[in-house]
C-alpha cells in the first residue's frame, strides 16, 4: 500500500464530533479559564484523547462519554497537555455546562458526573453551576522541610506565611495563606524550580483598599511537564474552602478572585450548607462547532 493510500485509509477512519470551548468562572467575557469539550467521544481511544488535549494546549480538555455506573448522568475524562486527571474543578463545571446545553437531562434534581475520582454532584447555582467539593486525599499541616522548599521557590520569607496546609483533593495542592492581597499579587516565583509542586496561595482582600467584589485572592502555580500559573482553579478553591472554613479562617460563604496577574477576572463562589461545600461560578460558551478526529 502506498503512502497516499495509507493516508486515505486514515482519513476514512476519522469521525466528526461536537466541539465547544467555554469560559469557566468568568466575571466577564474572556476573563475566566477556557476549557475545550468534545462531546459524544466514546469512539475515541486514550491516545487520541491525549493527542488532542496536547494539540489544544489548554490547561485542560475534556471528553463527554456515556456513564458506566448507576446514578451517573454522564462520564467525563479530563486531560492536560501532558496527563489525564482524575478530577479538576473548572473542567467539571465546563463539562456539565456543555452537557446541559446539548440537551442533557439529569435523572434527579442535580447532575451527577462520573470521573476518575468517582461521582461528583453538580447543581444549578443562580446563573451558574456549582460542584460539591470532593474529600481531601491529604490534609493537615505542612512540615518544615516542605515549607522551606515552597517559600524558597516563591521568593517569600516564612514570616509572611500566616498558615500552611495540605489541601490535596487529587492534583496534589499545598496551600499557603499570606497576610496581604497586594503582597500575593506581587510575587514572582522561580517557575524553573517548581518541579512537581502544585502550590496554592490565598490572601484576604482589604475592603477599604481592594473593594468588596471578593473576600479572598487566590493564585495557583503548577510544575511538572508544563510550568504555568493557572487562571482560575476549581480544585484548589475547593481544597482551600475545606481548609479555611474548617479552621475558622473564612466565613461559610465568600467569593474568591483569581487570575488578576494574568489579566483575567475569575470569580469563584464558595458556600457551605448542610450538604457540604459548594464551588460555583458562571460558565459561558465562546466557541461551538465540530472537530474531526
- The answer to whether 135 and 279 have CB atoms below 8 angstroms apart is no
Cell numbers found for residue 192: 524553573
Rounded Cα distance, 229 and 222, in Å: 6
The verdict on whether 217 is a catalytic residue reads no
Q: Which residues in 159-196 are b (16+ Cβ under 10 Å) and which e? A: ebbeebbbbbbbbbbbbbbbebbeebeebebeeeebee
Q: What is the DSSP letter of 142?
A: P
Angstrom distances, CA of residue 228 to CA of 49, 61, 78, 221: 22, 16, 18, 6
Set 10, 60, 82, 217: catalytic member? 60
Query: Which of 110, 92, 102, 112 lies closest to 235 in space, CA to CA?
Result: 92
Among the residues of 156-254, which ranges form H helices? 181-186, 207-210, 234-246
Catalytic residue numbers?
60
Amino acid at each position: 500500500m502506498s503512502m497516499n493510500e495509507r493516508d486515505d485509509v486514515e482519513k476514512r477512519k476519522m469521525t466528526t464530533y461536537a466541539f465547544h470551548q467555554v469560559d469557566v468562572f468568568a466575571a466577564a467575557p474572556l476573563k475566566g479559564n477556557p476549557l475545550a469539550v468534545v462531546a459524544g467521544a466514546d469512539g475515541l481511544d486514550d491516545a487520541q484523547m491525549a493527542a488532542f488535549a496536547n494539540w489544544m494546549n489548554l490547561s485542560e480538555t475534556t471528553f463527554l462519554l456515556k456513564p458506566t455506573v448507576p446514578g451517573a448522568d454522564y462520564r467525563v475524562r479530563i486531560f492536560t497537555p501532558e496527563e489525564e486527571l482524575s478530577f479538576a474543578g473548572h473542567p467539571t463545571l465546563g463539562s456539565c455546562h456543555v452537557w446541559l446545553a446539548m440537551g442533557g437531562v439529569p435523572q434527579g434534581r442535580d447532575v451527577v458526573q462520573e470521573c476518575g475520582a468517582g461521582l461528583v454532584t453538580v447543581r444549578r447555582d443562580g446563573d451558574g453551576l456549582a460542584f460539591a467539593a470532593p474529600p481531601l486525599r491529604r490534609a493537615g499541616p505542612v512540615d518544615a522541610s516542605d515549607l522551606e522548599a515552597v517559600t524558597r521557590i516563591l521568593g517569600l520569607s516564612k514570616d509572611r506565611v500566616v498558615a500552611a496546609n495540605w489541601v490535596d483533593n487529587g492534583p496534589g495542592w499545598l496551600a499557603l495563606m499570606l497576610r496581604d492581597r497586594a503582597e500575593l499579587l506581587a510575587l514572582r516565583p522561580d517557575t524553573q524550580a517548581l518541579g512537581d509542586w502544585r502550590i496554592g496561595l490565598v490572601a484576604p482582600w482589604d475592603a477599604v483598599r481592594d473593594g468588596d467584589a471578593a473576600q479572598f485572592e487566590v493564585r495557583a502555580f503548577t510544575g511538572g511537564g508544563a510550568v504555568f500559573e493557572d487562571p482560575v482553579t476549581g480544585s484548589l478553591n475547593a481544597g482551600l474552602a475545606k481548609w479555611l472554613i474548617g479552621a475558622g479562617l473564612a466565613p461559610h460563604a465568600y467569593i474568591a478572585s483569581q487570575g488578576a496577574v494574568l489579566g483575567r477576572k475569575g470569580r469563584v463562589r464558595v458556600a457551605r450548607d448542610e450538604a457540604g461545600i459548594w464551588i460555583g461560578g458562571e460558565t459561558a460558551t465562546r466557541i461551538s462547532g465540530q472537530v474531526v478526529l
